[in-house]
Amino acid sequence: MEAEHNSKLRSEEDGGSVDKAIHATADGHADVVSATERAHLKQGLEQRHLSMIALAGSIGTGLFLSLGGSIQTGGPLGALLGYAVVGAIVCAVQFALGEVSALLPVTGSFVRHADYLIDPAWGFAVGWNLVYGNVLSIPSEISAICVLFQFWTDINSSLWIMIFIALTFAIGVVFVRAYGEVEFAFASLKLLTIIFLIIFGLVTNLGGIPGVERIGFRYWNTPGPFVEYIGTGPWGRLLGFWSVMTSAVYSFAGCESLAMAAAETRNPGRTIPRACKRVFFRIVLFYMLAVLVVGMLVASDDDRLNDYSGTAAQSPFVIAVSAAGYSAVGSVINAIVITSAWSSSNQALLSGTRVLYALALKRQAPRFFLRTTSWGIPIYCVLFFTAFMFLSFMTLSSGALTVFYWFVSLTAAGTLVSWSTVLLNHIRLKTALRRQSISASELPWNNGWTLYSSYVALVMCLVILFTGGFSVFTAGRWNANSFVSSYLDIPLVIAFFVGWKVIKKTKWVKLEDLPLREAIEQARERAQQAEMEQEAEDALKGDRRWLKFISWIWD
């Protein structure tokens, strides 16, 4: 109560300057980092937190649980190619996000960037779409946790739902640095698990375990590298490969949230680009190796991959370990995957609450969402998302894995909209620089090839978005639930955009009028100040060269 009272006092005392800052920021004529963010949010996240949070959010249930379905419908090579294509899109998204966020490090990241670079109506639409996506993402992870616990016990899922709602809420209300440290630990555990699984899988595959014969690429020959899905021949194999896309997008979802708490990050002009660049390579490395190894260990026609199993026993990692005679290791993996799912729900909570805070900052959400605790947490945003966590109880009336896959489709569509916005923001920024005769080299971070990769990735995102539910349009496969979960997001975003544009009569941002020169100067000033603070902090910490043995993961 005391924290809330202090927060209320700060909001009232700073009311006039807050209003002014919000208005000026939305119009693009003042420092994009508003007075509200400076006054109420705490800069508790460092580069190691950002890098590991992005890894923690992306290496979760999508990789551990839904990869089996990808191999089943696309085959080992089809799944590998599908994840490779989406991984290339992620590369473009990460670099685009890093370049724009280094210049405009604001809470809400690309949602606020859309206001500044495209149209306030699009910022409103993609912001609420992201809130909606994270509202669904958290219960999807909790649904996955229920699936994973069913691997061990038949205890009613309501117990696990209540426990993890309480734990997720607790993490959401602590100081953001404490959240960063928790996620840092979880991400480290997940990375160690992935490395272990890749090494164990290769040893098993090559016959390194006594009593287990060498497999090699046997399953690539029989039943084959591709699976015919819906159709036959080359067309069926193409559809099998394309069916992997939605699961791959869901698996990579979360990497775009890296800069969501930019205003709570130290020296964002340096840390965000470095984290974007390094996180991409680590995600792709771990994903590609994991998909390759699992495709070598598990046949695409293995009955245990069927969704109706209803437990984590259908996870390809558990299948591979159990086949080698190490069933106890399967339980250990299951426990780590549970922490992964919880970690992903924490990441979704951080992303969603900061977007909602950013919407309130822009007067596109109720003002009470701006209230923060004395330690800088937007408390009403956290309470809002906590209320929707109870959607997890849907698993009690339907199969937990069925509900999980509903959420996969719903979340994947929202992720593609977010990625498209990141890419469009980047294209608009580069176009505005050209029209104002400002060299792109003046940006805090710039890469000459990224404009072209953003165009290609944007086209790919839109194609995957509109074809994600293609199977429901084929003969005899119509399913209302699948259609809604695949395409509901598109009319929602359009309705948000058109509705706000009509009500507020917003206009497309004129690229010639963007105050880019001022933004670049402000970025330089922030970088100089941050460098001075970092040097002073490093001097106090002393020699820590021993950390270099492990810091390559995040630094």
Q: Is the peptide bond before 223 cis (omega within 30 degrees of 0)?
A: yes
* Beta-strand runs (E) in 352-483: none
Say if residues 172 and 161 touch (Cβ distance below 8 Å).
Answer: no
- For the chain, the domain total comes to 1
Residue 451 token pair: 């404009």
According to DSSP, the residues that pair with 45 across neighbouring strands are 265
Flag whether 234 is in a domain: yes
69-118 confidence digits (pLDDT tens):
888 889 999 999 999 999 899 889 989 998 998 888 887 789 889 988 99
Give me the helix-helix angle, 316-323 and 268-297, nearest 10°. 50
| Cα–Cα distance measured from residue 160 to residue 362, given in angstroms and rounded to the nearest whole number | 37
- Residues contacting residue 386 through CB under 8 Å, at least 6 positions apart: 165, 168, 169, 172
Q: Would the pLDDT of 187 be above 50?
A: yes
pLDDT in tens, 351-370: 888 889 889 888 899 989 98
**CATH number of the domain bearing residue 230:** 1.20.1740.10
What is the pLDDT, as a whole number, of residue 459?
97
> Which one-letter amino acid corresponds to residue 208?
G
Residue 1 lies in a domain: no
Domain containing 262 equals 7-551
Q: Assign 121 a pLDDT band (cuts: 50, 70, 90).
A: very high
Reading the block at residue 112, the tokens are: 């606020």
Rounded distance between C-alpha atoms, residue 134 and residue 124, angstroms: 15
- C-alpha closest to that of 135 among 353, 322, 377: 353
Angstrom distance (rounded) from CA 468 to CA 244: 9
pLDDT at 216 over 80: yes
10 Å Cβ neighbour count for 144?
Answer: 32
Residue 7's pLDDT band (cuts 50, 70, 90): very low
pLDDT, greater one: 137 or 423: 423
The one-letter amino acid at 64: F
Dihedral (Cα; 313, 314, 319, 320), 10-degree rounding? -140
Residue recorded with tokens 């699009």: 122
pLDDT at 44 over 90: no
Inform me whether the pLDDT recorded for 263 exceeds 70.
Answer: no
Within a domain: 2: no
Q: Are 466 and 459 in contact (CB under 8 A)?
A: no
* Lowest-confidence pick of 309-323, 328-342, 353-367, 536-550: 536-550
Residue 453 or residue 333, greater confidence: 453
What is the per-residue pLDDT across 518-529, written as a single tens digit (0 to 9) for each?
A: 889 888 887 777
Question: Taking a C-beta distance cutoff of 8 angstroms, is the pair 93, 254 a contact?
Answer: no
Q: Tell me the pLDDT band of 463, cut-offs 50, 70 and 90.
A: very high
